[in-house]
Amino acid sequence: MSQLLIFLCVLGAANAALAADINAGKAKASATCAVCHGAQGMSSLPNAPHLAGQPQIYLAEQLKNYRSGKRTHEVMGVVAKPLSDAEIDNLSGWYASLQIVLRETP
C-alpha cells in the first residue's frame, strides 16, 4: 500500500510539472526573482536560497505559503501576494527543470 501511495505522489508531481509553462516561468523569474535568486536560480546573496533544482511541489507550496501569509518574509510576502496559481506552477516548474551537478573535489 505504501509503495502505491509513493507512486501516486510521484505521478502527481510529474503531472504538475508537465502542466507548467516553463518558458513563462523563466520569463517571470527573470523579471521578478533573478535579483535575489540569480538568473539561473543560483543565488549569490547569503540570505537568499538557491532555487534551481528544488522539487516543483516544494517550491509551489512555499510560494503559496508566502502568498497566504502562512510563511512570512518581508520581500517574499510582497512578491508572492499577486501570483496566480498558474504563475506559481510556471515559476516552480522552471526552477525544478534546472539541474544541479555536484562534483567531489579530489
* Superfamily in which the 2-97 domain is placed by CATH: Cytochrome c-like domain (1.10.760.10)
How far is C-alpha 54 from the chain's CA centre?
6
This prediction has a pTM of 0.80
Per-residue confidence (pLDDT) for residue 37, from 0 to 100: 97
Question: Domain coordinates of the chain in residue numbers?
Answer: 2-97
Q: What is the mean pLDDT of each run of 10 residues along the chain (106 residues)?
A: 55 56 96 95 95 98 98 96 98 97 90
